[in-house]
């Protein structure tokens, strides 16, 4: 026999073996299926012969224990759950109390007996709203509470529902969207967007508003108005160049391109002076009774308790924060600087006005001299205010001025200076 004939013979042998194996597996599977079918039919016959629900439940439980891999396992589980529901409902019906029905609903939130339970609770003289609230609490899900709110939007239980939703470890944002979903009104959804314009629920809320026949442009305008950023407004104009709101949005953009400066100081009743760095003029300060450089006093003079807030055009400014009630007694004032400035002595003029000493490019100390006495002191910082930002300026410390004799004063400070942050 040649090699080709041997090869073909071997192939035929392998194929025959595979076919025999498949036939055997099929036959075995068929036999197993037939066995399971007989067991299942036997079980159904036994069930038909029983009137007691608990006995039926026991039969299904035994079948499932003995046949964990049975083809009929899924059907057995379904029939067992139906029987358990029937048994538990009969027990609740026998008790016929609010607590019994509530416990049943808690156990079977999607039961076929819910309508019957609703009728039973009405027979117990409960109001429909109270029945719905009992059932919503028994189910205790976001969906159940949203459904309750949908049926009773003016309910006295709304505040309690918020607490119940919080107990489900829901965030405030998720609670609010659940309530909006329950109310399902244009006002509820638009209020949510105004409060949470960056929410993960924005897409869902937009779709809900569209289903309520609100235009997409109107929805997007609600969102950008809540965001209140130049980028959001410019994106809106790009998307809707012919919008009737274009002029209004353009004004909003112009306003936003101004910037906000807020100043906080630890010194009680500190005074804040703001002026442009490039200014060189002098202006009279009615509070102090002499001229002060405009680069300090600027066009605005703010006095009062901090924090103070002001809107400014973008640019470079100097901000001075001055204390009150520092009084010297010498006509020849010298200061000895401690810590970072140890050993440095600076003679200050006895002329009326402001005397400043710079220590860094963006910070300096200022003293106000009146009648050859230091009456006030403070710090100055140079800041660059950028468009569409809010700059927060915190003055951490000013200083303590102590007379040490011979017309000299020691200037003590941690000099932690200013803290700047932009948002």
Q: What's the distance, Cα to Cα, between the start and end of the chain in Å?
A: 91
Which residues constitute the domain of residue 353? 268-422
Closest Cα partner for 324 from 298, 304, 348, 299?
304
Q: Percentage of the chain with pLDDT > 70? A: 63
pLDDT on residue 135: 86
- The chain-wide mean pLDDT, for the chain, equals 74
Q: How far is CA 224 from the centre of its chain?
A: 18
pLDDT on residue 299: 42
Top mean pLDDT of 68-77, 349-358, 410-419 is at 68-77
pLDDT on residue 325: 54
Residue 191 lies in a domain: no
pLDDT at 283 over 90: no
Residue 94 lies in a domain: no
Task: Write the CB contacts of 364 (distance below 8 Å, at least 6 apart in sequence).
Answer: 356, 357, 358, 379, 380
Residue 414 lies in a domain: yes
Give 177-218 pLDDT, tens digit per residue: 999 999 999 999 999 999 999 999 999 999 999 999 999 999
Give the model's confidence band at 278: pLDDT under 50 very low, under 70 low, under 90 confident, else very high.
Answer: low
Helix (H) or strand (E) holding 369: strand 363-370
Query: Rounded to whole angstroms, how far apart are CA atoms 170 and 142?
Result: 9
Query: Rounded to whole angstroms, how far apart are CA atoms 179 and 172?
Result: 11
Helix (H) or strand (E) holding 271: strand 271-276
Task: Write the CB contacts of 348 (distance below 8 Å, at least 6 apart in sequence).
Answer: 333, 334, 335, 355, 367, 369, 374
Task: Write the CB contacts of 228 (distance below 8 Å, at least 6 apart in sequence).
Answer: 252, 256
pLDDT on residue 239: 94
Top mean pLDDT of 226-235, 400-409, 412-421 is at 226-235
Q: Dihedrals φ, ψ of 150, to 5°?
A: -60, -35
For residue 245, CA distances in Å to 92, 167, 192, 241, 248 come to 61, 43, 22, 9, 5
Residue 24 lies in a domain: yes
Listed residues 86, 112, 142: the one ending a domain: 86
Listed residues 86, 102, 121: the one ending a domain: 86
* The dihedral sign for the CA sequence 191, 195, 196, 197: positive
Query: Rounded to whole angstroms, how far apart are CA atoms 44 and 23?
Result: 31
Query: Rounded to whole angstroms, how far apart are CA atoms 60 and 87?
Result: 14
Residue 401 lies in a domain: yes
Residue 408 lies in a domain: yes
pLDDT at 84 over 80: yes
pLDDT on residue 289: 43
pLDDT on residue 2: 53
pLDDT on residue 80: 87
Q: Dihedrals φ, ψ of 82, to 5°?
A: -60, -40
Give 320-337 pLDDT, tens digit per residue: 777 655 554 444 444 544
pLDDT on residue 161: 93
Query: Rounded to whole angstroms, how far apart are CA atoms 151 and 143?
Result: 13
Mapped onto helix, strand or coil, the DSSP state of residue 104 is helix
Q: Percentage of the chain with pLDDT > 90? A: 23
Listed residues 63, 86, 109: the one ending a domain: 86
Residue 125 lies in a domain: no
pLDDT on residue 357: 65
Residue 413 lies in a domain: yes
Query: Rounded to whole angstroms, how far apart are CA atoms 119 and 311?
Result: 64
Q: Of 298 and 390, which is predicted with more confidence? A: 390
Give 225-274 pLDDT, tens digit per residue: 998 888 899 999 999 999 999 999 988 887 777 777 777 765 555 667 77
pLDDT at 137 over 80: yes
Domain count, the chain: 2
Query: Rounded to whole angstroms, how far apart are CA atoms 332 and 330?
Result: 5
Give 355-402 pLDDT, tens digit per residue: 666 656 667 777 776 666 666 677 777 888 777 677 877 766 555 666
């Amino acid at each position: 026999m040649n090699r080709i004939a041997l090869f073909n013979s071997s192939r035929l042998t392998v194929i025959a073996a595979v076919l025999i194996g498949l036939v055997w597996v099929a036959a075995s599977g068929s036999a197993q299926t037939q066995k399971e079918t007989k067991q299942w039919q036997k079980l159904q016959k036994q069930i038909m012969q029983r009137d007691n629900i608990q006995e039926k439940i026991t039969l299904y439980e035994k079948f499932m224990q003995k046949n964990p891999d049975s083809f009929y396992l899924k059907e057995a589980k379904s029939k067992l759950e139906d029987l358990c529901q029937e048994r538990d409902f009969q027990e609740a019906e026998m008790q016929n109390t609010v607590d019994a029905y509530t416990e049943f609903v808690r156990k079977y939130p999607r039961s076929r007996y819910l309508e019957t339970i609703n009728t039973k609770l009405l027979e117990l003289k409960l109001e429909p709203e109270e029945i719905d609230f009992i059932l919503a609490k028994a189910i205790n899900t976001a969906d159940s509470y949203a459904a309750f709110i949908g049926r009773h939007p003016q309910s006295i239980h709304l505040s309690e529902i918020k607490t119940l939703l919080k107990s489900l470890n829901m965030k405030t944002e998720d609670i609010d969207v659940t309530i909006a979903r329950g109310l399902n009104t244009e006002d509820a959804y638009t209020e949510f967007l105004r409060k949470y314009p960056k929410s993960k629920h924005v897409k869902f809320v937009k779709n809900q508003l569209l289903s309520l026949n609100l235009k997409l442009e109107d929805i997007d305008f609600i969102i950008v108005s809540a965001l209140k950023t130049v980028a959001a407004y410019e994106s809106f104009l790009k998307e809707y160049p012919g919008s009737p709101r274009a002029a209004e949005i353009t004004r909003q953009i112009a306003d936003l391109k101004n910037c906000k400066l807020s100043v906080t100081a630890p010194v009680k009743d500190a005074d804040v002076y703001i002026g442009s760095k490039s200014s060189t003029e002098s202006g009279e300060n009615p509070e102090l009774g002499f001229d002060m450089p405009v680069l300090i006093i600027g066009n605005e003079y703010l006095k009062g308790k901090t924090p103070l807030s002001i809107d400014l055009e973008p640019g470079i400014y100097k901000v001075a924060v001055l204390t009150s009630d520092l009084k010297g007694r010498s006509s020849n004032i010298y200061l000895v600087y401690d810590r970072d400035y140890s050993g440095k002595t600076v003679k200050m003029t006895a002329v009326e006005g402001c005397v400043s000493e710079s220590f860094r490019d963006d910070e300096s100390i200022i003293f106000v001299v009146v009648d050859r006495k230091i009456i006030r002191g403070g710090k100055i910082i140079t800041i660059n205010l950028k468009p569409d930002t809010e700059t927060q300026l915190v003055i951490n410390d000013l200083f303590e001025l102590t007379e040490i004799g011979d017309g000299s004063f020691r200037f003590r400070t941690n000099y932690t200076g200013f803290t700047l942050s932009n948002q």
